[in-house]
Chains A and B, each alone.
Chain A
Amino acid sequence: MRAFLLRRVLAAAPLLLGSLTLLFLLLQLVPGRPFTAEAGAGVSPVAAERLRRISGADQPIAARYLAWVGGMLGGDLGYSWSERRPVADAVQEAASRTLLLTGTAIALQFAIGLGLGLLAAAAGPRLDRLLTAVAGILYSVPSFWLGLLLVGFFSVRLGWLPVSQIHSSDAGAWGTWPRLLDAARHLVLPCLALALPGAGGIALFVRDEVRAALAEGLALSARSRGLGRTRMVLRHGAGRALLAVSVLFGLAIPGLLGGSVVIETLFAWPGMGRLAYQGTLARDEPLVLGCAGVAALLVIAGSLAADVLSAAVDPRVRESLR
């Protein structure tokens, strides 16, 4: 297991380096040079030259690459001029909120997906068809649309849940429990919007996997000896479902992080996705690149965790990479 872990970590490192290199290459594709004095712009050629020297833009590309990647890896993501503070500070603050949102969403997604999938696998043909249809529809619904509909119904029409933000504006003066409740109320809608479409996909996958497991000889012989349907699913199907989930776990993270850009923006949730979006509108290159680098780090860490998870539940995975 330890050798496996070491191997996976060693394989993940070049992936991170590769993502940073990709971002750097994109940056190089931008036409024009930094601080180019255009006719009429208020920067004199002398000042532009000095700015280029201070910012290191006059260095050869290899030196700039090393400086940029080294900075990113060392935690120096540059300075965000729209936020007026170091990118690392802004991203750090936002990343914890994004982790709260996506972490809750991922737990909810797998809980609902696993439950729905196992239920459909255990159910008779009619209920199975209904549950499969529900899961298929959930899977096809855009998360941002779901978010807008949820807000329209639960916040605007019924007034039950807050429309946006991470906590109420006067929550600072409240006690611990009201504050936690307030935070939870703000989390419900964005979390559901983010989790439900993916949960539908997981349910479909889990159902098919469990059904396939139940059609195998071992399960069939157990059934012929009189094992009940529910116990069949739990004893012979649940293991397979767990394997499926450990594979899907790593695949779900990029989708959730991408989805959180839209959901955070819609719900004014002050996380990384919204930060990157605001950076995009302000054309704040260091901020957006910093967010993208951290997003890549999170995806790679997530898929590493998924690999470890699937190695922990499936001996075949451990063996295959020995």
Chain B
Amino acid sequence: MIRWSCRATRRLLESHHDGELPMEARASIQNHLRQCPSCSGERHRLRQVGVELRAAVSDHAAG
């Protein structure tokens, strides 16, 4: 498995988050995320955008 730097991880983090990367790259990024609190925090913030946006849309639809 290739060892990923933070820079490489950040570049592909959004595609990874969206499930758009091939299996090998996905595994390498997951490995990096397990070891890097900074990148894993970035991933968490990316995830929160989707979570909060869906909640906002749902609230708006409910009135």
Q: Do A and B bind each other?
A: no
